[in-house]
Structure 1
Amino acid sequence: MTERDDIVRRLQALEPLIRKLCGICGVPGVSLGVVLSGDVIFRLNLGYRNLETSAATDSDTVYPIGTIAKTFTASAIGILVSEGKLSWNTLIRDILPEFRSRDLTISQNLTVLDLLCHRGGLARSNQWWQGAGGELLQEKRQTIPFYSTLEPVGTFRSDWAYSNWGYAILGEVIERASGLRYGDFLSKRIFQPLELDCTTTAEPVAANKHNVAKPYAALDDATLHPLPQPPVHGNAIMVPAMGISSSLNDLCKYAIALLHAQRTECRGGNTSHLVLQNAKTHLAGHIFTAQGTMEKSYACGFYRSQLPSTVMGMGWNSIYVKKMPTIIPRGHCGPLIAHGGSLPGYHSAIALLPELEAGVVVCTNSIGLGDASGWISMALVEALIDSPNPTDFTQYATEAAIGHVNSVPALQDKLRKAKRSSMFVPPRPLSQYTGRYRDADRDWVIDIRHRDAGHLEVLFQGLESQVWPLTYYEDDTFLWLTERNEQARRGRMTTYPQGDVFKLIFMGNGSLIDRVCWPQEPGLAKEKQCFTKEETAQ
């Protein structure tokens, strides 16, 4: 029996575990594959792309892949660098002259590579664009103006902070440098040449007809609630950060092409015929994401982890378990280069082991209890590297599922313990809080209105689709926190870390309320996150 045969046998033996992980996490359908030395050596499709019609998944089933889109954006940049239309150190202001940061150092020095590896030092600010039901709260035309308003929250090029906004800006860079729309450039220069026939930035159902995985959210009891298709596609905002849909077969082709390009470059071979260019820089680490004796860094659209260690970038599970498992190879295997992808209704993962010329792909169609794609991809990696101490992923997945279900109660308990006041009613009439509050720099509004005689509710961007009930917390602070099931049904990303984002802190001069602060950005003073009350409610 060959070494490849041994690997395939280990992968095949994982099927019962994968089925169990899907059950624990609440996943209706999964498509997964493993590549080795230029071949797909293992595929597995389980469950349903559509529960209501009992339509099964297959290797061409299309899944929105969320933030795995970032690696395609990085590939597009690599192609433009090879053509001389950009360099890794091209200044953003030279491509987008209208960009001006509130920090002069960033305005003058921010480069393409800074954005690719998340070392810009600016606020993440995801709440400004992503609403309930997956609804987009801003348009693509607002990308550059909004990015210019982001406050510094870290040290430029020293502090790593994941930024979807940075990749949205890279989409604008690609369009200016190429003269094509982002989706058209990717289609012409990556999707078509690599024969990624199911991969698109367009609306997935329209582009792929019937074989599209329907999105679901797992409720606390692991039952599945159907969600609408997330609208991050076409010419919408955030497409370069998370707006691509693809299939197992296509992602395996892409993984093979990226591994081959990187291997050819490292060996000094001729790369002129390759579709993907500058893969060595694409997959190299450019900033540390954590301190330790083993490397943990960020490349361009990928996390890097030197094994043996815990791994980064393969899902949100670290939020819900006390300690992530250590992945241990039997021998030397080089860095694990990985990234997860999430959108309301989907979790996916891709992981590469360049020194083994190997990779894994996992796509699922639910926001589950924990992230099944993360656990499954780690199990596949352990089979690839023949780990001498295989992880009990059932135990970890169970812990994560329980932790996810308990995440909102745990936050509620934390808020209760942190409460300074014993008051149970606000210190002023509710009418003093109502009205429209505006951030003029970003043209963004928060409406506060009476829900009934004794309660308030908030409408983000003034939209009925973004209404949440307010409960009194302390002083002039209210919470828009609801049960996790309600957030899941309404298509919120319940896997995002919870915290002060659910607070609305009303402030004023004297007896009148004149602003509300929404402390959604960690590390930024609440006074810099305030909306001014308009004189007349809209």
Structure 2
Amino acid sequence: MFSKSAFIVGTLSLAISTVLVSKPTHASIYNGVSDKFKQKFHQQLKNNKVPGGAFVIVEGDKILKLSYYGKRSKGSALNVNANTVFRLASVSKTFAGTLASMLVQENKLDWQQPINAYLPSFVLADPKASQKINLGHIIGQSTGLMPNSYDNLVNANVSKDKILNKFSEITPMCRPGVCYSYQNVAFSFIESAIEQKSGLSYENYIEKRIFKPLEMNNASTGYTAFMAEKNRAEPHIKTKSGFKKVSVKPNYYELAPAAGVNASITDMSKWLIANLGEKPAVLSSAVINDVTTPGVKTTKELRRRDWRTYLDNAYYGKGWRVYEFEGRPLIYHAGWVAGYVAEISYSPELNIGMVMLLNGESRVIAKLSSAFWHDVFKQQN
């Protein structure tokens, strides 16, 4: 007998794979929603005094609405525009999952392979426990390790090699594949597998397989590339006296698969379009189905402020979250890193997606995105 959760996972997977074959067009319906969102986006960023931001809404292979707001840096004369580059933070994980899945589809990687095959220096307190963690667990956030293991050391600027050695002190909280355990450091272990099987550095491989073929001309990976970009949004943190500009921190750039990608809103429109299945030569339906197949359940997501009213179920796929939003499948990921927030989401059923990028830490991004999807799905009721 199927459990309710198994039925929901199967239903979501079927809905996701089905729409990649036959996609409706609702541009005339969503133009109104897009216009409304633009108005709210500008008003909410102004009300919350967010320095700058940008968003894009796409349907199929077309941009319904692209807009930007504010300044690249507080007090500056330089405005945000369509090519201003932001840090994507954890939205970078969507690229890592896709790159790994590409290699799986080409039979160069296997999700069942142990991570030790590519990173033999990864050892837990019980060496046998580390041998049970495979590539699927790494990319699917189901390693069984304590959530956000050693993010505190990343924040303290400890080197990646020293952090890797610290894993020998960890005892997993559950068996791999059983419980949800969000990671940044461990997630980035996938870099070793990708580099060894592609024969390229992670930066060069993402450029070859995604950025260049999709013409994501402003996209890059890493701290050096970001700092070399003249048209970049500077980071701002929230203080009691308002937003304060801070320096770009290089620490999380050390974890390229987890938080290393930089991109403009124009770039992200192209990434969305590809994930809606409109660029099969770059992003195949097999890869899209693979990375958006619901994996471990993420119950904590159901309690998210601004989202909890709408979420029925939540799972982690492979670098993507899979939500059941008012009964509809929604593919999603958010990112936050000192001074920046980002969100990407799309409905495979309705063939529409949205990205937001802000250069100021603000919860307004979650409020805007959840309300947007409520309005979109309401059109179908």
Q: Normalization by structure 2: what TM-score?
A: 0.83
Match of 1:274 in 2: 282
Change (3 A) 1:81 1:148: farther
Contact 1:143 1:168 in 2 (8 A): no
Cα deviation digits, residues 223-244 of structure 1 (max 9, x gap): 22111012147xx521211111
Question: Greater helix percent: which structure?
Answer: 2
Matches within 5 A, 1:246-285: 246-260=263-277, 273-275=281-283, 278-285=287-294
- Say which SS state the counterpart of residue 129 (structure 1) adopts: helix
Cα deviation digits, residues 146-187 of structure 1 (max 9, x gap): 344433123432111111122121112212222222111111
- Say which SS state the counterpart of residue 130 (structure 1) adopts: helix
- Say which SS state the counterpart of residue 109 (structure 1) adopts: coil
Match of 2:210 in 1: 190
Unaligned 5+ residue runs, structure 2? 1-24, 303-310
Among candidates 302, 309, 331, match of residue 320 of structure 2? 302
Change (3 A) 1:356 1:23: same
CA RMSD of aligned residues (A): 2.5
Cα deviation digits, residues 329-362 of structure 1 (max 9, x gap): xxxxx31111111110000100011111111000
Letter in 1 for 2:339: G
Match of 2:193 in 1: 173
Deviation at 1:248, TM superposition (A): 0.7
Change (3 A) 1:103 1:258: farther
Change (3 A) 1:387 1:357: closer
Unaligned 5+ residue runs, structure 1? 265-270, 310-333, 390-538
Cα deviation digits, residues 302-335 of structure 1 (max 9, x gap): 22111217xxxxxxxxxxxxxxxxxxxxxxxx31
Deviation at 1:96, TM superposition (A): 2.1
Change (3 A) 1:60 1:243: same
Contact 2:132 2:176 in 1 (8 A): no
Structure having greater relative contact order (Cα 8 Å, sep ≥ 6): 2
Contact 2:312 2:324 in 1 (8 A): yes
Change (3 A) 1:224 1:128: closer
Deviation at 1:199, TM superposition (A): 0.9
Q: Distance in 1 between matches of 2:334 and 2:369?
A: 10
- Answering whether residue 264 of structure 2 is matched by residue 208 of structure 1, we say no
- Identical columns (%): 24
Change (3 A) 1:89 1:381: same
- Answering whether residue 172 of structure 2 is matched by residue 163 of structure 1, we say no
Q: Distance in 2 between matches of 1:353 and 1:194?
A: 20
Among candidates 337, 340, 343, match of residue 349 of structure 1? 343
Deviation at 1:218, TM superposition (A): 1.9
Match of 1:318 in 2: none
Q: Distance in 2 between matches of 1:23 and 1:220?
A: 17
- Answering whether residue 98 of structure 2 is matched by residue 75 of structure 1, we say yes
Contact 1:30 1:363 in 2 (8 A): yes
Match of 2:295 in 1: 286
Q: Distance in 1 between matches of 2:167 and 2:201?
A: 19
Contact 2:292 2:331 in 1 (8 A): yes
Change (3 A) 1:142 1:259: farther
Q: Distance in 1 between matches of 2:195 and 2:379?
A: 44
Q: Distance in 2 between matches of 1:197 and 1:75?
A: 19
Contact 2:297 2:316 in 1 (8 A): yes
Among candidates 320, 330, 333, match of residue 339 of structure 1? 333
Q: Distance in 2 between matches of 1:301 and 1:362?
A: 18
Cα deviation digits, residues 492-533 of structure 1 (max 9, x gap): xxxxxxxxxxxxxxxxxxxxxxxxxxxxxxxxxxxxxxxxxx
- Answering whether residue 380 of structure 2 is matched by residue 378 of structure 1, we say no
- Say which SS state the counterpart of residue 131 (structure 2) adopts: helix
Q: Normalization by structure 1: what TM-score?
A: 0.60
**What is the aligned residue count?**
345
Letter in 2 for 1:231: P
- Say which SS state the counterpart of residue 91 (structure 2) adopts: helix
Change (3 A) 1:126 1:107: closer
Matches within 5 A, 1:479-490: none
Deviation at 1:110, TM superposition (A): 1.0
Cα deviation digits, residues 81-125 of structure 1 (max 9, x gap): 122220121211222233222234532221111111111111223
Larger-gyration structure (1/2): 1
Q: Distance in 1 between matches of 2:149 and 2:122?
A: 17
Cα deviation digits, residues 64-89 of structure 1 (max 9, x gap): 01000001111110121122220121
Q: Distance in 1 between matches of 2:81 and 2:191?
A: 31
